[in-house]
Chain A
């Protein structure tokens, strides 16, 4: 039985960005963005402690697929040791660090072009006038990160 009572945190400076991503229809809810950032951070093998933690969402909103991936990442970090996934709070605490590094990479590689000028280093915020195609661009970016073979280059729009 997974622990649904954990307040999952992100750094407070990403509060607006989480809200904006949801408002601009890039994600259905906050746990989506947290998961994406965790996967980015984990794939890049980068993790950062959160400086100023801010409650972002409850762990009961995390889907079974996301939990499975969090457990898999946790076991991979601990030489496939099953005992590493027995404490959900510990799992989430570790994922928070990957997510914190992942969101920085996301801004650096992708979201930077969609931000309001001057917000990047303080509290990043999306520029609504640039966000019209964000949902599809975001999905494309994630897919690109996950695939070595750049299949979409065949297609006009993304060539």
Chain B
């Protein structure tokens, strides 16, 4: 998709008719257009116009907290002059996609009614000019699906996005994870597989119901096992979903706690107390983690400690075996089988005959009594070795176990002391004379209680999930045994088993595919990330990972999670890298055949990050439209963009004096001289 032209008529700040031609007709390789304007001039208005034209949407994601009646698309001056008559506002977009040219027109009419402005969709038209030159007029009811074929509305925010908001993708909330998961599913067209998995689940359930109702005792066990497995999986999924919800709730509570702490920090008289409490709470968390680690180690010492209970027995048996070894009884000097052969053959190894009744014969018989059989000797020697090994650790084991118990006890003492300290500080803060301070403190306490209860529920659910997993593997084993044991003679049994196998196979295929896709997108995002990051970032931030729950993580040079420490600018770079990787995956890993329409993409970025983005994005996408403010697009950025050879268009949004905006186009060369230098802004 390439956006050629957008025509606005009485839309937001744009009074009358305005045209923007994004594509450079004389050089199509110049795929980058910049729309430049100060804050309030209408950059986001243009972004809104594009969303309105393509999808009829009046709201952007950033309007979440704005009431409907405050979002107005019709130009205010035009409304004032209309003296109660309706004003028509329209956006017309011309774009090409796969050889066809689309001309899309959408209009609304607005009218002032007292203090309120009423807006209604007035018209929508779409013409498609095909490769052969014929133009098709699309029926109004089919327009949305035709546009969705070009750019699915569910993924539009990956191509048309607000740079200030995009970094939120890296916040691991439920909404962000859902957005990432849906984005991946939709862009990669795995919806069909998803439908197949769900259909197979329904089929398996239906066959199972039939089997349960119609079979006699023969299929009862099979039906029971399949049903138990299904119930187990459903319960596991329920627990996993709840665990994700709880993790979100916990994170939200922590964020709110942080906000409260920030607000409390504004009260200077209690600043020192807050700082002390923050330190103590952080120490408690660290120590709780340490205590948990030590507690986890405890179970590995259980057998070593128990062996100490039978230490005397071990020592006694070892002493006995050791004595026999010392005496040469194990292993015996001469093997029992050799002596037995001499006696039965009446012939010594030297060739002399050994006759019964002789003194030689009697001596050999006495040797035989002293020896054991070879197997028993092996057992004795093995046991001697193992007991030697076991007893050699007794002293060390006892010392280590004692140390661990004392270590744990010390940590618990320190945690108790710190908790007392936190309580005492909280009491002092709560007793502060400032009413707003103690109110915040009360809310804070509630959040802390909520976090404790969430943590307990998480722990409980995690252990339930673990238990369900172990029941699942046992049931699976039983089902396999049941399958082997019976010759299936019932069609229903066969169908039920087959449906279950299909369900399992599809679920596995789905999981494998999505896991591979996550991996591919993670690698691709890491590659783009490396190209966009500045040198300092590159030294620390190494890998972007799309986790199993579809949240994003960044790993440092040691492979450790680092997301909590990255700056807002780095988060923005990370989000852009992820979106770019997603779009590349949707285009089979090649160049992105969609425009990237970015509103204020540079706001939070350092100079080096801006330059890297400017250098790389035109190479990755078919079209890049930047809506930038005077503070984020200066001569430095313009120079960098000019160097790429991809910059084709420059528009400036200018105030026209009556609260409206006009759009002026300049050549790229002229643009450079118009733009402010960095020092001029300072």
Give the interface centre of A23, A82, A147 by most chain B CB atoms within 10 Å.
Answer: A82
Interface readout for B389-422 with A: 1 if CB under 8 Å, 0 if not? 1100000001001101110110011000000000
Contact pick for A139, options B317, B405, B463, B467, CB 8 Å:
B405
Contact pick for B409, options A68, A82, A157, CB 8 Å:
A157
Given known pairs A35-B303, A157-B409, A158-B409, the reply for A69 and B310 (CB within 8 Å) is yes
Q: Is the interface of A mostly helix, strand, loop or mixed?
A: helix
A152 within 8 Å of B (CB atoms): yes
B413: A residues at CB distance < 8 A: 156-157
A40 within 8 Å of B (CB atoms): yes
Say yes or no: A146 contacts B308, CB within 8 Å. yes
Given known pairs A23-B467, A39-B307, the reply for A139 and B302 (CB within 8 Å) is yes
* Closest partner residue, chain A, to B320 (CB atom): A80
Say yes or no: A135 contacts B379, CB within 8 Å. no
Task: Please provide the chain B residues from 283 to 341 with a CB less than 8 Å away from any CB of chain A in the complex.
Answer: 294-296, 298-311, 313-314, 316-318, 320
Q: Which of A6-14, A71-79, A112-120 contacts B (4 or more CB under 8 A)?
A: A71-79
Task: Please provide the chain B residues from 147 to 186 with a CB less than 8 Å away from any CB of chain A in the complex.
Answer: none
B62 within 8 Å of A (CB atoms): no
Report the minimal beta-carbon distance from A158 to chain B, rounded to whole angstroms.
7
Interface readout for A42-63 with B: 1 if CB under 8 Å, 0 if not? 1100000000000000000001
Whole-angstrom distance between the alpha carbons of A67 and B305 in the complex?
Answer: 15
Say yes or no: A142 contacts B387, CB within 8 Å. no
A86: B residues at CB distance < 8 A: 375-376, 379
* Closest partner residue, chain A, to B416 (CB atom): A157
Say yes or no: A42 contacts B313, CB within 8 Å. yes
Say yes or no: B306 contacts A72, CB within 8 Å. no
Say yes or no: A28 contacts B308, CB within 8 Å. no
B466 within 8 Å of A (CB atoms): yes
Say yes or no: A82 contacts B402, CB within 8 Å. no
Whole-angstrom distance between the alpha carbons of A46 and B156 in the complex?
Answer: 74
* Closest partner residue, chain A, to B330 (CB atom): A82
Say yes or no: A80 contacts B317, CB within 8 Å. yes
A136 within 8 Å of B (CB atoms): yes
Say yes or no: A82 contacts B390, CB within 8 Å. no
B513 within 8 Å of A (CB atoms): no
Given known pairs A25-B296, A147-B398, the reply for A69 and B307 (CB within 8 Å) is yes
Say yes or no: A139 contacts B320, CB within 8 Å. no
B303: A residues at CB distance < 8 A: 32, 35-36, 63, 65-66
Whole-angstrom distance between the alpha carbons of A91 and B65 in the complex?
Answer: 73
Given known pairs A19-B467, A140-B405, the reply for A68 and B299 (CB within 8 Å) is no
Whole-angstrom distance between the alpha carbons of A73 and B387 in the complex?
Answer: 12
The A-B contact count (CB < 8 A) is 147
A93 within 8 Å of B (CB atoms): no
A64: B residues at CB distance < 8 A: 386, 389
A136: B residues at CB distance < 8 A: 294-295, 298, 405, 408-409
B316: A residues at CB distance < 8 A: 72, 76, 80
Report the minimal beta-carbon distance from B182 to chain A, rounded to whole angstroms.
36
Report the minimal beta-carbon distance from B456 to chain A, rounded to whole angstroms.
9
A122 within 8 Å of B (CB atoms): no
Whole-angstrom distance between the alpha carbons of A28 and B296 in the complex?
Answer: 9
Contact pick for A68, options B376, B383, B406, CB 8 Å:
B383
Contact pick for B302, options A36, A82, A145, CB 8 Å:
A36
Whole-angstrom distance between the alpha carbons of A152 and B380 in the complex?
Answer: 38
Number of interface residues of A (CB under 8 A): 50
Q: Is the interface of B mostly helix, strand, loop or mixed?
A: helix
Say yes or no: A72 contacts B310, CB within 8 Å. yes
Whole-angstrom distance between the alpha carbons of A139 and B406 in the complex?
Answer: 12
Give the interface centre of B302, B309, B316 by most chain A CB atoms within 10 Å.
Answer: B309
Given known pairs A67-B386, A69-B390, A135-B295, the reply for A36 and B317 (CB within 8 Å) is no
* Closest partner residue, chain B, to A71 (CB atom): B383
B359 within 8 Å of A (CB atoms): no
Whole-angstrom distance between the alpha carbons of A140 and B365 in the complex?
Answer: 55
Say yes or no: A32 contacts B398, CB within 8 Å. no
A138: B residues at CB distance < 8 A: 298, 302
* Closest partner residue, chain B, to A32 (CB atom): B302
A85 within 8 Å of B (CB atoms): yes
Given known pairs A151-B402, A157-B413, the reply for A128 and B298 (CB within 8 Å) is no
Say yes or no: B305 contacts A142, CB within 8 Å. yes
B94 within 8 Å of A (CB atoms): no
Whole-angstrom distance between the alpha carbons of A22 and B455 in the complex?
Answer: 20
* Closest partner residue, chain B, to A74 (CB atom): B317
* Closest partner residue, chain A, to B300 (CB atom): A28
Task: Please provide the chain B residues from 119 to 148 with a CB less than 8 Å away from any CB of chain A in the complex.
Answer: none
Interface readout for B450-467 with A: 1 if CB under 8 Å, 0 if not? 000000000010010011
Task: Please provide the chain A residues from 129 to 155 with a CB less than 8 Å away from any CB of chain B in the complex.
Answer: 133, 135-136, 138-140, 142-143, 145-147, 151-152, 155
Given known pairs A65-B303, A82-B376, A152-B405, the reply for A145 and B309 (CB within 8 Å) is yes
A147: B residues at CB distance < 8 A: 308, 398
Task: Please provide the chain B residues from 57 to 108 with a CB less than 8 Å away from any CB of chain A in the complex.
Answer: none
B612 within 8 Å of A (CB atoms): no
B372 within 8 Å of A (CB atoms): yes
Interface readout for B606-621 with A: 1 if CB under 8 Å, 0 if not? 0000000000000000
Whole-angstrom distance between the alpha carbons of A82 and B320 in the complex?
Answer: 11
Give the interface centre of B295, B298, B372, B398 by most chain A CB atoms within 10 Å.
Answer: B298
Whole-angstrom distance between the alpha carbons of A75 and B413 in the complex?
Answer: 45
B301: A residues at CB distance < 8 A: 139
B309: A residues at CB distance < 8 A: 39-40, 42-43, 142, 145-146
Say yes or no: B387 contacts A25, CB within 8 Å. no
* Closest partner residue, chain A, to B388 (CB atom): A68
Say yes or no: B376 contacts A143, CB within 8 Å. no
B305: A residues at CB distance < 8 A: 139, 142-143, 146
Say yes or no: B299 contacts A135, CB within 8 Å. yes
Report the minimal beta-carbon distance from A75 to chain B, rounded to whole angstroms.
5
Say yes or no: A68 contacts B386, CB within 8 Å. yes
Given known pairs A143-B405, A157-B409, the reply for A27 and B313 (CB within 8 Å) is no
A101 within 8 Å of B (CB atoms): no
Report the minimal beta-carbon distance from B308 to chain A, rounded to whole angstroms.
4
A92 within 8 Å of B (CB atoms): no
Say yes or no: B406 contacts A155, CB within 8 Å. yes
B406: A residues at CB distance < 8 A: 152, 155
A75: B residues at CB distance < 8 A: 317, 320
B376: A residues at CB distance < 8 A: 82-83, 86
Contact pick for B314, options A33, A68, A135, CB 8 Å:
A68
Could you jot down 7 A-B contacts, CB within 8 Å? Answer: A39-B309, A40-B306, A72-B383, A75-B320, A76-B313, A139-B302, A139-B401
* Leading 7 A-B pairs by shortest Cβ distance: A146-B308, A68-B386, A135-B298, A39-B309, A72-B317, A142-B305, A157-B409
- Extra contacts, 15 of them, besides A27-B299, A68-B314, A143-B401 (Cβ < 8 A), are A19-B467, A23-B463, A27-B302, A28-B300, A32-B302, A32-B303, A33-B302, A67-B386, A71-B386, A72-B314, A85-B379, A139-B404, A146-B305, A146-B306, A146-B309
